[in-house]
Amino acid sequence: MQTAEQTTANAAQEAWKKRPLIISGPCSAETEEQVLATAQRLAATGRVNMLRAGIWKPRTKPGMFEGIGAKGLPWLQQAKKLTGLPTTVEVATGKQVEDALTFDVDVLWVGARTTVNPFSVQEVADALRGVNVPVLIKNPINPDLELWAGAVERIARAGIKDIGLIHRGFSSYGNTEFRNAPMWHLAIEMKLKHPHMPIINDPSHICGRRDILQEVMQRAIDLDYDGLMIESHIDPDNAWSDAKQQITPERLKEMLEAIIWRKEDSNSAEYHAALEKLRQQINHLDDELMQILSQRMKIAEKIGQYKKDNNITILQTNRWNEIIEKAFAKGDKTGLSKEFITKYFDAVHMESINHQKKVMDA
């Protein structure tokens, strides 16, 4: 005979191994009714393996809703009892780890604002010593893989065996279509450095809006992510946090059903699937290069405007030689040939001059 506690522990272990691992639930637990209704509607989709809810919310500014606190933990416990869905919450302090474990939370996650802070990560790690619970670690808000890897190492050194990564995008200055730029190449690099860790994509915090969630989900699946964490709410528009990016459980079901799941289900297809995966990675990197080049041209246009206002010539040879010399010096490390660097910079330079000229002639 298994105890109830063992049964849920097994359910959590099973869920952790599910591929794709689909985690969903509200940004924040708000009320008991909201948590229970969300959990039931998510369970009814038949496509969700784990219930998420923020209990303690690190908010950008004081005065915003900072989470319901430990009072919401029994709601999650109840939701698990009703639906069988294992639960996961964000923890940022030792006390939060203790409280979450007291209420049988199955999986903990470290949020992006915590991963950036080694003191906080260490405190969480210390509280986890001797505990057997899976931990997901979100990327830090800034694009720093060492910081992300450092957080993984701190949690691993505390003896945690089941560690997973969550890619939620990186904060960047200025307007982009994303709330947090995905910078897929960074997540891919992190995955390559930790090949045995599952990596989950969090399209909600990457997009910050509903209309582009589907394409980001698809990209993640194309890149062979192990799962998705998507925020859902019974009344998204009136959510107490992250209202713009949440979707109803029913909408989530539709979106999951619209994903093209790429399988490698036959041996003969294995080789092609591997090749396809590499090609997908190249496609995504090419897309990103184009976006970066386009940003570069926009800056060139600003420089053009400045030169126009101040009556300076477009071509400044010194500055150009300096750029090329720097690129050559870095060439060894990047593995790029001198010939390629020269051709590349010539092309970029010409395009840049054309953009500047357009502004100056306007």
**Which residues lie near ligand PEP (CB under 6 A)?**
27, 54, 90, 111-113, 138, 168, 205
In the DSSP assignment, the letter for residue 160 is -
Q: By three-state DSSP, how is residue 200 classified?
A: strand
Which of ligand PEP, Mn ion, none does residue 138 bind to, with CB < 5 to 8 Å depending on kind?
ligand PEP
Q: How far is the CB of 246 from Mn ion (least distance, A)?
A: 8
Q: Quick one: which of 211, 255, 258, 202 has its CA closest to 231?
A: 202
Does position 90 interact with Mn ion (CB under 5 A)? The reply is no
Footprint on residues 227-256 left by Mn ion (CB under 5 A)? 242
Q: DSSP assignment, residue 105?
A: -
> Nearest distance from residue 157's CB to Mn ion, in Å?
28
Applying CB under 5 A, what is the total number of residues that bind Mn ion? Answer: 2
Give min distance, CB of 81 to ligand PEP, in A. Answer: 23
Residue in 207, 209, 191, 214 with CA at minimum distance from that of residue 139: 191
Chosen from Mn ion, ligand PEP, none, partner binding at 111 (C-beta under 5 to 8 Å by type): ligand PEP
The listed partner (Mn ion, ligand PEP, none) that binds 220, CB under 5 to 8 Å by sort, is: none
The nearest distance, CB 357 to Mn ion, in angstroms, is 45
What is the nearest approach in angstroms of Mn ion to the Cβ of residue 308?
44
Burial group, residue 39, by CB count within 10 angstroms (0-12, 13-18, 19+): buried
Do the Cβ atoms of 56 and 85 come closer than 8 Å? no
Residue with smaller CB distance to Mn ion, 226 or 242? 242
Cβ 135 vs Cβ 110: under 8 Å? yes
Of the two residues 242 and 355, which places its CB atom closer to ligand PEP in the complex?
A: 242
Q: Which residue number is nearest to Mn ion in terms of Cβ?
A: 27
CB of 122 to Mn ion, least distance (A): 24
Whole-angstrom Cα Rg for the chain? 23
Give Cα separations from 246 to 75, 119, 177, 184, 235 (angstroms): 20, 31, 17, 22, 9
- Partner interacting with residue 233 (select from ligand PEP, Mn ion, none; CB below 5-8 Å by kind): none
Q: Which of 15, 27, 55, 68 binds Mn ion (CB under 5 A)?
A: 27
Q: Could you tell me if 285 and 192 are in contact, meaning their C-beta atoms sit under 8 angstroms apart?
A: no
Which does residue 113 touch among Mn ion, ligand PEP, none (CB within 5 to 8 A, set by kind)? ligand PEP
Give kind and range of the element (H or E) at residue 90: strand 87-90
User: Which residues lie near Mn ion (CB under 5 A)?
Assistant: 27, 242
